[in-house]
Structure 1
Amino acid sequence: MHTLIRGSLISAVLLSGTVLGTSQAVAADSGKITIMVGGITKMIYLPAKLTEQLGYFKEEGLDVELQSQPAGVDAENELLAGAVQAVVGFYDHSIDLQSKGKEVTAITVFGQVPGEVEMVSTKAAATIKSMADVKGKTLGVTGLGSSTNFLTQYLAAKSGVTSNQYSVLPVGADNTFIVAIKQNRIDAGMTTEPTVSQLLKNGDASVLVDMRTVEGTVKALGGLYPASSLYVQRPWLNTHKEEAAKLARAFVKTLKFINTHSAAEIADKMPKDYYGNNKPMYVQALQNSLPMFSPDGKMPAGGPETVLQVLSGFNPNVKGKHIDLAKTYTNEFVSQGK
């Protein structure tokens, strides 16, 4: 059912893309670049806002507007429709889309690992000790067809639980995820920092699977899983290489900043509404997240193969199909950075 829903969405978007192709070209040629982020306050996507805050887009002579959608799949649809020039979302979408005949390429990798955590509600913790225990349970994801949905299905399948043995409920991220846990609408769910730290602090949930670190990700998925990234449609990339190089340089500067500054120093650069009245918790959440960020924006060796293996395990769009991984990412532009 979820696959059918997502397929229908993509079909509609692909059709609309043929109509909006002209407006996409006009938007790109106006000099302004609109980047859609799959949840801009999620820590996994922090480099997007931080780059703006540090002034690195302007340093590169770019006019960038950041927009936000609650889930990566929604951001992906905006890209396919030609409404935006780039997306900050999970790299795995580029593999999934290639299986549908659309060429999307990641030009900067932010996260070596997903940064995602499967949280189990305190009330369900007695019966859910591992992903093998989710039969008959309701699991929260940011959106149907999102990367949290991909990873949830994989982790369950790896534990011997098929997708028809549990329910998946799209609950978004941040406060909507927390509310879903508190109201017992979900027994467990996949989310990111700072939501993880907030749930732990309030005692509403505990960690079931932790993919914020290299060690935890290798244990859960069998290898590095490059996740948060900046990706664009290849036709745009082929005609806007100068802009792509500038974007990559700006983000590489940010990744270097992240890797040479403390969590507190990074938090000081973020807008106040990102941490509200609890800056210490935000700093702690950021500290927990620092290991996931790439030091140089390059695709980690073996990463694409791990992602393909995960998707091939359950995704009918990808399973059994030839995927040209070389077309799903490029290090060409991050390698130009100083």
Structure 2
Amino acid sequence: MNNARKVLWLALIVLLTAALSGCGGSGQAQKVKIGEVTRSVFYAPQYVALEKGFFKEEGLDVELQTTAGGDKTMTALLSGAIDVALVGAETSIYVYQQGSEDPVINFAQLTQTDGTFLVARDAGEFDWEKLKGSVFLGQRKGGMPQMAGEFTLRKHGIDPHQDLELIQNVDFANITAAFVSGTGQFVQLFEPQASIVEKEGKGHVVASFGTESGRLPYTVFMTKQSYMKDRPEVVQKFTNAVHKAQLWVQAHTPEGIAETVAPYFKDTDMDILVSSIKRYKEQGSYAETPALSEDSWNNLLDVMESAGELNERVDVGELVDNSFADKAVNSVK
């Protein structure tokens, strides 16, 4: 009888231990909230990481929300409403310039070029000189799309504030509609909007700002320095999942990628998704590694300086931590 009781007690202890380990510790997925600056096919590797279960493989329970705009995304990050932001690296510099005691650190790059295209209303042979004297429907002042656009225009001898009429008072979500309705002779658009405008015969893609402006840490996963210090294992797992997705995207066709990310773009035709992803793949917009290079960071500073948005140059080591990216590249194959 005593032996039977001992066996029963041992069985109860084993069951209780298993239950406790399942309720916490390594057995429980760690929650991470991402705020993306917008929903865009430009961020295809992020949706691949979610759809293919790469975050889950790393033991993370990721919740994605669209925070609509760089300022709102950064406010959500700084307030603790989200843990990780997917936004342009320039936002971390803006926070740094304001003297933040808890700076925002870039730890995993997702896109490495500008994602916009120059769309002309009229067909015909294109020359940058045609922009002089035109009405140009641009992007928000201080944002990376507009700064990369102005940087490109200056490279071609065009002063964006003197040589053309620059419109910047249209909300991001309404830029395409404004162009289609007749505003501007040229417009700067992301995909899939550029492909949609072409398909509808309302405009023609004539140049890529991504190709023209060079390598940039354009869209980056970042978090507060305090979060990084408190949860380094979470940041590492997150970066591992991002790199898995990057490798997957590099190894698959635009068609395969489009099929995978389609649930995030239910209102977009498959042929438009394929066309958009193909353009981004061909110009190397999707980063092959989560690490940010010093050259691309310095190019970002040049772009911001040219736009008059940089108070002082910030060394890459101040706001970039590549240690997680380096470990991911060495461990994920």
TM-score by length of structure 1 reads 0.78
Measure how far apart 1:153 and its partner are.
3.4
Q: What one-letter code is carried by the residue in structure 1 that aligns with 2:275? A: Q
> Helix, strand or coil for the counterpart of 1:204?
coil
Aligned residues with identical type, % of pairs: 19
Work out which of the residue numbers 70, 87, 110 in structure 2 matches 1:89: 87
The 8 Å contact of residues 290 and 325 in structure 2, kept in 1 or not, is answered as yes
The 8 Å contact of residues 111 and 218 in structure 2, kept in 1 or not, is answered as yes
Post-superposition Cα deviations, 1:271-319, rounded to whole Å, max 9, x if no partner, equal 4461546212211221111121111222135100111011111224x14
In structure 1, the partner of 2:300 is 307
Post-superposition Cα deviations, 1:137-185, rounded to whole Å, max 9, x if no partner, equal 24232x4432223223333444342537533133324xx3331111123
Measure how far apart 1:65 and its partner are.
0.8
The 8 Å contact of residues 47 and 251 in structure 1, kept in 2 or not, is answered as yes
Q: What one-letter code is carried by the residue in structure 2 that aligns with 1:38? A: V
Post-superposition Cα deviations, 1:99-157, rounded to whole Å, max 9, x if no partner, equal 222422211111121222122333xx78x95277355624232x443222322333344
The 8 Å contact of residues 138 and 166 in structure 2, kept in 1 or not, is answered as no
For residues 186-335 of structure 1, the aligned pairs below 5 Å read: 186-212=184-210, 216=211, 220-221=212-213, 223-272=214-263, 274=265, 276=267, 278-290=269-281, 291-316=284-309, 318-319=310-311, 321-335=312-326
In structure 2, the partner of 1:38 is 37
Q: Write out the 4+ residue segments of structure 1 that deviate beyond 6 Å after TM superposition.
A: none
Measure how far apart 1:73 and its partner are.
3.5
Post-superposition Cα deviations, 1:68-94, rounded to whole Å, max 9, x if no partner, equal 133334322322333211111122222
Taking the aligned partners of 2:77 and 2:105, their CA distance within structure 1 comes to: 12
> Helix, strand or coil for the counterpart of 1:110?
strand
The 8 Å contact of residues 115 and 145 in structure 2, kept in 1 or not, is answered as no
The 8 Å contact of residues 42 and 277 in structure 2, kept in 1 or not, is answered as no
The 8 Å contact of residues 152 and 209 in structure 2, kept in 1 or not, is answered as no
The 8 Å contact of residues 149 and 209 in structure 2, kept in 1 or not, is answered as no
Q: For the aligned residues, what is the CA RMSD?
A: 2.6
Q: How many residues of Structure 1 are paired with residues of Structure 2 in the alignment?
A: 294
Structure 1 gaps of 5+ residues are: 1-29
In structure 2, the partner of 1:166 is 166
Taking the aligned partners of 2:299 and 2:264, their CA distance within structure 1 comes to: 36
Work out which of the residue numbers 150, 160, 185 in structure 1 matches 2:147: 150
> Helix, strand or coil for the counterpart of 2:169?
strand
Q: What one-letter code is carried by the residue in structure 2 that aligns with 1:241? A: P
In structure 2, do the counterparts of structure 1 residues 190 and 162 end up closer, same or farther at CA, with 3 Å as the change threshold?
closer
The 8 Å contact of residues 140 and 171 in structure 1, kept in 2 or not, is answered as no
In structure 2, do the counterparts of structure 1 residues 197 and 239 end up closer, same or farther at CA, with 3 Å as the change threshold?
same
Q: What one-letter code is carried by the residue in structure 2 that aligns with 1:293? A: Y
* Higher alpha-carbon Rg: 2
In structure 2, the partner of 1:22 is none
TM-score by length of structure 2 reads 0.79
